Structure 1
């Protein structure tokens, strides 16, 4: 394969990978669906910054390093699991505290920019499987002896694909019609999302 084909293949594989439902998708949707586009986009920024961090870490060989130190790998998993459980519990507690008829005014609580960026970053950065994924993706798709610029171009490709996907998800769930539907379904959705996040956290903690 030539370099363009390699980069296009990496983009396609990565697009399919991040489109699969998982903790990051659950968190992005839970923020964006509130109708706060600014918070949703800032959360996406945090996710993309974590993506860049892990992709660069893969470039530096951190995947191999973590595999050599299973306790460090497990520690990162437990931190990520704890954060997902915290986010899920926060949703459930918030639903209980604000139990009652949903209104457009009460449906969206203000979220600081720093909190949104931090939530996106921590959700993605505390999943050590991500660096293993990038290391495998680059290792399989980029042939031995390839020029250095090809590897760094691959890093840029996965970051751009991630940004485009998560921005698209955020913009979709902040469409007024979607937000209005969320207001009506908020109590049920908060319970579902809270349970999903807690379940994902428990799964990561127990099974890795």
Structure 2
């Protein structure tokens, strides 16, 4: 019989817990433009509802593609779900960015924007974030750390020691909507049992105590 190290059992338990017992998001009420939604929360929103979405976007002609998440590269790839809005002029110098769009959802595929705002991610460390979760709720953040990944359950940890063991009192946050197809995620360099881990940078929206990932970057 093979005996697992205690620290590995603890990490696995934490990841499984994050993946299986995370509280459900509150129901979305239509026609509340001040309520910020993620793109995959639009199911059940009635036609002609006024909503506000915060989402990564691929900027192109004739439409700008709003996406649940994107993979960066010479030609960024969008992950489902996606939604198109008419192309507009944005103060973004590259082909992607984060947009806050207030508008009318005409149908599951048609979104008529009223206002569009470019949102720049705020860079913050995990320690500071953990002490100010309410301050940064619903904001777009850029976080560095070590990603611990088991299946679709993930944690971003401030610091790990030998073998990927989180250091004592290391700040951490649950990661949701991790784009597992991204090469940066697939190629995490370290493995312990069925947990893969490595340093990474995540950009996404903070919702409560979880980060909903928009895209991943290699740490500088």
Task: Provide TM-score, normalisation by structure 2.
Answer: 0.25
- Greater fraction strand: 2
Task: Provide TM-score, normalisation by structure 1.
Answer: 0.26
- Greater fraction helix: 1
User: Larger relative CO (CA 8 A, sep 6+): 1 or 2?
Assistant: 1
